[in-house]
Chain A
Amino acid sequence: MKKIGLIVNPIAGMGGSVGLKGSDGLEILEKARALGAKPKSSYRTTQALEKVSPFKDKVEIITYPGEMGENAARACGFEPTVIGSIDKDNTTPQDTKNAAKDMKKLGVDLILFAGGDGTARDIYDSVGISIPVLGIPTGVKIHSAVYGQNPKRAGELISLFVQGKVVEFKEQEVMDIDEDAFRAGRVTARLYGYLKVPFEKRFVQSRKSGGIKTEEASLEGIAHYVIDSMSDDYIYVIGPGTTTRSIMEKLGLKNSLLGMDVVYQKKLLANDVSEEELLNLIKGKKAKIIITIIGGQGHIFGRGNQQLSPTVLNQVRKENIIVVSTREKLNTIFGSPMLIDTGDSETDNMLEGYYKVVVGYDDFIMYKAMS
């Protein structure tokens, strides 16, 4: 018997339905309601749960009251264990956070949430990567890599999970999009964190990847290649992400998953540096930057590594940038270029062109980057 925690963000997606590009913030929500937006998150949750209902005897659902999960679970014939309390029709991000924490305490095997990137962030804040999480995409902003392809696919994946057929998990990106900027037509995102998402080849967003073991082997090869190629004359700036983390781990160095770390002669100079600290460290020295792409999106600059400002990048130059990625991750953007968005068009132009992306030991793919 698996325990699944179910959290529905009932207002997710409402802003989008009336063209508001997001539903975060009370004012926007009221505007959305005034424009006639109707909550759809709960309905989309039932589309997922219907796929799980044939395995009712194998699953116990623990959820929050009413619109935060209880209604959807009962609509699909489940008898959920209902915990916590909410202010009906006025739920807040704090309710999501509380629910995730409560469910973790009760020892759920996985949290299934319905929402968008805002909801994913709230859950990340509460449980980090301590337990598996899967998203049903019902929000306006779906930039994170933690969702099933659609509600039905998310439900099918959960049905495999409750049958014990999914045993692998991957740390996937949670993105933080600035809604005010997004509404103004600009996407300014950063890497917010990672959630531990169940992995089954057929259900990953792109369905283009090899197995998880293949990917682990690629990571190992990338890390060994980069370390073997390191020159003692250069300072290495290691960008955020799980791919670059494998290099730091192989070097036995402390690392910041979301920040920039600096290495010289295979020793740590600094963790999680700001733009200013970085400029001081590389001033008058030769430096190389090692970065990876954001899976599914393809950004190499301008998302998740704003410390690499135009000033830094113009000092380092394109020829000293090493892009690393597993084939699996690179293939999630197959057919599209890697993306550059530093905020400065001259710097973007300087960085455009082909990169010899390191995908394994002595193994490279020529891949184009565009702004």
Chain B
Amino acid sequence: MSPVKIKENFQQARWNEPIIYEKSRPNVRGILPPKADKEIVELVGDVVSKLPDGIRRKELPNLPEVSQKHVLAHYIRLSQETLGANLSNDLSEGTCTMKYNPRVNEDLVAETDFAELHPHQDEDTVQGILEIYHKFQKVVKEVSGLDRFTLQPGGGSQAIYTAACIVRAYWEDKGEADKRDEIITTIFSHPADAATPATAGFKIITIYPDERGLPDIEALKEAVSERTAAIFMTNPEDLGMYNPIADEFVKIVRSVGGLCFYDQANANAFLGVARAKEAGFDMCHFNVHKTFGSPHGCSGPASGALGVTEELVKYLPVPLVEYDGEKYYLNYDSEKSIGKVRDFIGVSGVILRAYAWSMAMGAKGLRECADVSVINNNYLEKKVLGIRGISSAYQGNDITRQEQIRYSFEKLYEETGVGSNDMNARIVDYGIPSFWSSHHPWLIPEPMTLEPCETYSKDDLDEYAAVLQRLSDEAYSNPEILKTAPHNSSSHRRNDEESLDDPTKWATTWAAYLKKHR
């Protein structure tokens, strides 16, 4: 067996590339469009003067003025400064389900037959993509056991928001919307399970974990009442533990008449193993872009699938993609629908890739995907927990971890002063992307969440563990090297953490930066 290799001499490009606006020089042009022919000018006249006053700019837009050569150099340099998906050992990104995204599927979406479709085309001319929608709906129906799906949402959170809107519509329909104004969630569920119902107008009650780290069922019993509209819960939560009594949670919420939504963003753990239907849920969602093998996380868009039981179908967003035995069509005929959560029928590129991925995997392949993900995770756990200073949330509670784990550097921090942020700054020096620490708040101190999906090899896992071992050794022998990291990477250390929490300081656009800091 070959020894584990760490990228000892890794050195990433360090261009310190400025913002493109900072490269701008007055009157430099990348493209000089030719002037219109005299004949055309005479025929059309001054087009701009014909525009209404209200939509005519008073001054030129503030765009960077850069030549083609320098635009190209700028973006090549930026590309060299990433450690993106399909490039590195990115099992770092726990909760993100980073896995290999088959390149052959990129050929599919690049086919002109698909790429040149327009959402306003008549449905008779887009039968192919509607068929794929319909067939992929069958896949997720089978995976969840639920009766109908919408693929309209443009991501997981939007699918959860759609579920919250359906809960609202359900109670309005029953004439109880004023009374049923509380949605219950759990603290280690995805934050969207609290945030999107709040956006939909609900009060949020959050359940904290019990001693084993599972949602406290006694707290749920105290929380439910005639005001309970629904529960929104993730399983397995991001700590990586499957809640074996999720069905008990459903029964408690049902006992007061509430609906039950199952966040299945972490479906990689149980494809072909456990389903929302058997646990008793009314709704569930999948992050199609993650679980079903489509590029995401800055390399592709998201897509959410929301499934419901027959009773709730009437509230689903329109249009629904249906089949009458002869042709596929868009059904807008739904009086009680919540309307649209997004234009058209969703992110069709992701659905096409996901359908191709599912068909290539087959039913057995989906099950194997779950099995290998869980085995990978447990193999890596064994190695990581042997490293000095690292523990995991609720370690030793006899619950086997699923597809991901939230680890903690609390002991390492106490003994060396090196915490999660320092480890994250240093790991990139070995060619591995910074890891996902945790959603906030950091209830598990100094966290790190890893998710080694089914496409990572044993060598990948061994390399990752070896790098963590190296980082731990460095923390105990020379903590400064971590506190001043990164040294060999393009990335810099944030020098002002607090500004990330301060709306008067943060700037996500150049215009905002100019306004707040110049």
Residues of A within 8 A of B (CB): 152-153, 156, 165, 167-168, 200-202, 206-214, 327-328, 331, 334, 353-354, 356, 359, 362-368
Contacts and interface: CB of A to CB of B under 8 A. Distances in A.
Contact of B208 (A165, A328, A366): A366
B207 interface: yes
Given A210-B440, A353-B222, A354-B222, A367 B498 contact: no
A362 B440 CA distance: 19
B219 A368 contact: yes
A152 B417 contact: yes
B175 interface: no
27 contacts: A201-B497, A202-B497, A207-B446, A208-B443, A209-B441, A210-B441, A210-B501, A211-B498, A212-B498, A212-B501, A214-B501, A328-B441, A354-B222, A354-B223, A356-B223, A362-B198, A362-B202, A363-B198, A363-B203, A363-B204, A364-B205, A365-B205, A365-B206, A366-B206, A366-B216, A366-B223, A368-B219
Interface string B198-219: 1000111111100000001011
Interface string B472-491: 00000000000000000000
Interface string B106-138: 000000000000000000000000000000000
Contacts of A365: 187, 205-206, 208
Contacts of A167: 498
Contact of A366 (B207, B442, B445, B500): B207
A212 B504 CA distance: 13
A213 B501 contact: yes
Interface in B418-450: 419, 421, 440-443, 445-446
A69 B208 CA distance: 45
Contacts of B187: 365
A366 B205 contact: yes
Given A213-B503, A331-B441, A362 B498 contact: no
Contact of B502 (A211, A359, A362, A364): A211
B208 A208 contact: no
Nearest to B187: A365
Given A202-B419, A208-B441, A356-B205, A366 B222 contact: yes
B224 to A, nearest CB: 10
Nearest to B211: A335
A160 B463 CA distance: 36
Contacts of A212: 498, 501
B443 A334 contact: yes
B218 A211 contact: no
Interface in B386-420: 413, 417, 419
A210 B440 CA distance: 7
Contacts of A327: 441
Nearest to B421: A202
